[in-house]
Amino acid sequence: SQQIILASRPNGMPDASTFRLEDKQRPELKAGEVVVKPTHFSVDPYMRGRMNDAKSYIPPFQVGEPLSGGAVAEVTDSKADGFAPRDVVTGNLPWATEAVVPANGLKKIDTKLAPASYYLGILGMPGLTAYFGLLDIGKPQPGETVVVSGAAGAVGIVVGQIAKIQGCRVVGIAGSDDKVAMLTEQFGFDAVVNYKTAPDLTKAIADACPDGVDIYFDNVGGEVSDAVIANINFHARIPLCGQIAFYNTTDVPVGPRIQPMLLTRSVLMKGFIVGDYKERFSEGVRQLAAWVSEGKLRYTETTVKGFDKLPEALLGLFSGQNTGKMIVEV
């Protein structure tokens, strides 16, 4: 089988020298373990942080070891109770075409209820991130204006639709005219601003939000967030979900740019990690699945084919190559 290892730690944007494709011998299967063959891998922005040798909420990838991430796989052999060949499972798996892993980290999924890849997106980590971040921290009320950055991505597209379900006016921010058209025409967004082409982003957001911004779901940070926060309302809430604008920068620009607005308008800004809500994941998945089956929540994916394309797909997140969830199909 094959695996993709972290060949060296990147400084700034990763490139071909960051990754290496290798052949690998399969270790012996022991009690409590299963052999899995991944069919779908998730690539996610947080993986960039794990390439740095830095302490965080999740340990760094090790040089010379395979990267890993969310995946759906088929069980091909088992020495674990409750797991049998042909079971379809999801879990955190090494970037390998085949792996021997403990069964206790895996969850069986039903691919008749939803396509396998949905368990990596709308019914998985990104969907739960949108659900808890918006509802628990944002606390949307009918008639409020919700702005979401990274709006056409895995998390953002769900945030916008849940905000619509809650009766809000929803304004997205995304990086291409195709994404703008898709969000307004197919996903019910009231307005979407292209942050790459708007001549004056602060004004573009003001025009799209005549009553100001009550909730800003922040996936990106940087200048996009400066422009949204310039339009923030009294008692607004900001679920601080991601800061992708900074993941590949070597020197993060700092300065007292947004704090005065947060202070004088009594704004709540709260960072969170989806794992904070672990105890409530089953509630979240149940509600998301119900909305999907009722047709209230729609989803889209960008599928890249080929195990060896994992690095390319991951890096594609940082240039907006994906619409909806970025998935690699093995």
Residue closer to ligand NDP by CB (options 71, 224) is: 224
Q: Which of 75, 154, 215, 310 binds ligand NDP (CB under 6 A)?
A: 154
Considering only the stretches 23-31, 67-75, 214-222, 251-259, report the one whose residues sit in contact with ligand NDP under the rule CB under 6 A.
214-222
Q: How far apart are CA 50 and CA 184, in angstroms?
A: 34
DSSP state of 210: T
Interaction of residue 317 with ligand NDP, rule CB under 6 A: yes
The residue among 1 and 56 lying less far from ligand NDP, judged by its C-beta, is 56
**Using rule CB under 6 A, residue 120 touches ligand NDP:** no
Please report whether residue 159 would count as binding ligand NDP according to CB under 6 A. no
Torsions phi, psi for 184 (to 5 deg): -80, -40
Q: How far is CA 17 from CA 157, 199, 245, 330, in A?
A: 33, 37, 22, 22
| Residue linked to tokens 């204006």 | 145
Cα separation, 184 vs 247, in Å, equals 28
> Which helix (H) or strand (E) element contains residue 289?
helix 281-293
Q: Which of 120, 213, 241, 267 binds ligand NDP (CB under 6 A)?
A: 241
Site for ligand NDP, residues 38 to 67, rule: CB under 6 A:
44-46
176 binding ligand NDP? (CB under 6 A): yes
Least distance CB 194 / ligand NDP (angstroms): 8
Please give the C-alpha separations between residue 118 and each of 82, 84, 90, in angstroms, as whole numbers: 23, 22, 11
Which of 6, 317 has the CB closer to ligand NDP?
317
Interface with ligand NDP, residue 219, by CB under 6 A: yes
- Choose the binding region for ligand NDP from 74-82, 84-92, 147-155, 256-264 (rule: CB under 6 A): 147-155
The answer to the question of residue 297 lying near ligand NDP (CB under 6 A) is no
Of 6, 72, 163, 174, the one binding ligand NDP by CB under 6 A:
174
Q: Is the dihedral of CA 227, 231, 235, 237 positive or negative?
A: negative
Give which of 190, 177, 157 is closest to 301, Cα–Cα: 157
Check if the beta carbon of residue 250 is closer than 8 Å to that of residue 12: yes
CB nearer to ligand NDP: give 152 or 232. 152
Burial bucket for residue 59 (CB in 10 Å: 0-12, 13-18, 19+): exposed
Residues that bind ligand NDP (CB under 6 A): 44-46, 125-126, 129, 150, 152-156, 174-176, 179, 219-220, 222, 224, 241-242, 244-245, 272-274, 317-318, 320, 322, 326
